[in-house]
Structure 1
């Protein structure tokens, strides 16, 4: 019998399978991933060295095409907005992935380039160099928090009887299951804040 035209395993296929398990179960083990793919654990290790490397591959597979598509956008604010919006779109689809990503330092040159592009865009908006890291952390924290918020309801309706403003705000949010409108509004506020803070 000849070899299949498409290899049974590749880093990309492993990353996609791991993401499926995370979406369903909130985490994955290498053993569970091997079982999901119908291969031996040793076969996985021919393509990836560790769970950490698989998590890095998940991030890389999703973010690098975005980097390539937006690298030449000339307007720094528009570029920053598109990068942040796409990051949220990714994470809001699988918020269970966020704790795994947070636990992994960013090591790949491609992902360092991705964050360098964000830092460059912030700087080109006029943010002083000494404040760029804080601005980057603010934006990333906002995306992570907004996506994690999809996993639970922060307030019980019964507890908001004496909080009419909060109830009204939550009523608006609840009509948007992915909370995209709320995210877009918050992002616009953050970007306006960055622009207003520039000297």
Structure 2
């Protein structure tokens, strides 16, 4: 039998199929991934280092949807503000992937390069090296939570009959209806975080 001109599998096909499964089912297994790809499970292991390798392919796949060129903007807070919006949009489109990526060590080469760009933006902007990772980790934690919130119901709190919650009820009644609850919280939170980072950067 003639050999196929192109291999049946490559890392991009594996990543695409894994992301489809996670979007549909909230998870993936190696046997399910193999079925989606139309191959035997051991075939996948020729291209990735097991489940952990697939997760890193997913990380890189999501990163393709984030506009890292925005990190070339200056000053640093303009770059982070623009990048944060692209980051949130990419993860909001695939919220089920967040728990998989948030609980594993970042090793995907293209993603490590982007983190290096972020570190450069902050260091060039005046942050001390020891401030870089805490600062960006806090921002990233917020962005991932905000991406998950995009998939949440518009009504997140509802005081049931017979429950006395006057302060919460008053706060809920005072909410604006536009933009959406999630987008309003995102704008508020991003502004607050960037203000805090500016204040920290300006302190002696």
Under a length normalisation based on structure 1, what TM-score does the superposition of the two structures give?
A: 0.82
Aligned partners of 1:176, 1:160: CA distance in 2, in Å?
26
Which position in structure 1 is the counterpart of 2:171? Answer: 166
Q: Evaluate the alpha carbon distance shift between residue 138 and residue 152 of structure 1 in structure 2; reply closer, same or farther with a 3 A threshold.
A: same
SS in 2 for 1:172: coil
Cα shift at 1:11: 0.7
Cα shift at 1:64: 5.1
Where in structure 2 are there 5+ consecutive unaligned residues? none
Instruction: Tell me the matched-pair count.
Output: 197
| Greater C-alpha radius of gyration | 2
Q: Would you say 1:184 and 2:187 are equivalent positions?
A: yes
Q: Which moved more, 1:16-25 or 1:73-82?
A: 73-82
Q: Which moved more, 1:19-28 or 1:118-127?
A: 118-127
Q: Evaluate the alpha carbon distance shift between residue 193 and residue 160 of structure 1 in structure 2; reply closer, same or farther with a 3 A threshold.
A: farther
- Please identify which structure carries the higher helix content: 1
Which position in structure 2 is the counterpart of 1:113? Answer: 113
Aligned partners of 1:184, 1:4: CA distance in 2, in Å?
51
Cα shift at 1:60: 1.2
Cα shift at 1:47: 1.8
CA deviations on 1:9-66 (whole Å, 9 max, x unpaired) are: 2211111111111111111001011111221112222222211111101111332574
Q: Would you say 1:31 and 2:31 are equivalent positions?
A: yes
Q: Which moved more, 1:52-61 or 1:42-51?
A: 42-51
Answer yes or no: is the 8 Å Cα contact 2:17–2:33 preserved in 1: yes
Q: Which moved more, 1:120-129 or 1:65-74?
A: 65-74
Where in structure 1 are there 5+ consecutive unaligned residues? none
1:34-183 equivalences under 5 Å are: 34-63=34-63, 66=66, 69-70=69-70, 72-152=72-152, 154-158=156-160, 162=166, 163-168=168-173, 172=177, 176=180, 179-183=182-186
Q: Evaluate the alpha carbon distance shift between residue 68 and residue 126 of structure 1 in structure 2; reply closer, same or farther with a 3 A threshold.
A: closer
Cα shift at 1:72: 3.5
Higher RCO, 1 vs 2 (CA within 8 Å, ≥6 residues apart): 1
Cα shift at 1:172: 3.2
